[in-house]
Chains A and B, each alone.
Chain A
Amino acid sequence: QQQVKQSPQSLIVQKGGISIINCAYENTAFDYFPWYQQFPGKGPALLIAIRPDVSEKKEGRFTISFNKSAKQFSLHIMDSQPGDSATYFCAASSGTGANNLFFGTGTRLTVIP
């Protein structure tokens, strides 16, 4: 059972465009939602994270939007660059004593020059 559902599976965006990746969850105990970026042959790198007490968090070109009532969150990459081409994973965890992250299935982003 996939605890975090991620879409789309792959995404192609023109340079300078906006990349949007969506995730949804069911477990209302989740209270930490990070996004990871992974390049081939590398481990996932923490990109940005949000907690449910805010609806949006922005760091540079990366923004997380969070909708608690809909149990959805999304990553927006503004002014997408070829160097952003990677696989992106959303994740969620619960702060009730468990430190394990539940990951989405990943989105392979390709930014065309």
Chain B
Amino acid sequence: KAGVTQTPRYLIKTRGQQVTLSCSPISGHRSVSWYQQTPGQGLQFLFEYFSETQRNKGNFPGRFSGRQFSNSRSEMNVSTLELGDSALYLCASSLERLSEQFFGPGTRLTVL
């Protein structure tokens, strides 16, 4: 069974731009969570989607948003990029809510 896939793998943007990252969960998995990983703050939860609804949100500004489609694929969007948004953005999928989470390889975002 294929793992979690994330596209693109690498992205370079400039301040003020916006970006959309994509995540395809493991087949049959219905829950998708997003995390931000930085050297300074570590791994931090962004939000979780299940059945196309945001179920939980971490402590991030409104510039960070996401959505989930009927096939469980998810996208996250960051508007008005700041230098501090440079990070590895990880997507994790789980079969149901509260079950084991499996991570994708991440999208490395660099903001210049």
Instruction: Mark A residues whose CB is within 8 Å of B.
Output: 32, 34, 36, 41-46, 49, 89, 91, 93, 95, 97-106
Residue of A nearest to B44 (CB): A103
CB-defined A-B contacts under 8 Å, sample of 22? A36-B103, A43-B104, A43-B106, A44-B90, A45-B103, A46-B100, A46-B102, A89-B43, A97-B55, A97-B97, A98-B48, A98-B56, A99-B33, A99-B50, A99-B55, A99-B56, A99-B98, A100-B45, A100-B56, A101-B35, A101-B43, A103-B43
Instruction: Determine the distance from Cα of A43 to Cα of B62 in the docked complex, in whole angstroms.
Output: 25
Whole-angstrom distance from the CB of A24 to the nearest CB of chain B? Answer: 16
Interface residue? B31 (CB, 8 A): yes
The contact of A102 among B45, B56, B105, by CB within 8 Å, is: B45
A-B interface contact total, Cβ < 8 Å: 60
SS class of chain B's interface: helix, strand, loop or mixed?
strand
Whole-angstrom distance from the CB of B43 to the nearest CB of chain A? Answer: 4
Contact B105 A42 (CB under 8 A): yes
Residue of A nearest to B94 (CB): A99
| Per-position binary interface string of chain B over residues 55-99, scored 1 when its CB falls under 8 Å from any chain A CB and 0 otherwise | 110100000000000000000000000000000001010100110
Measured between beta carbons, the chain B residues less than 8 angstroms from A102 are 45
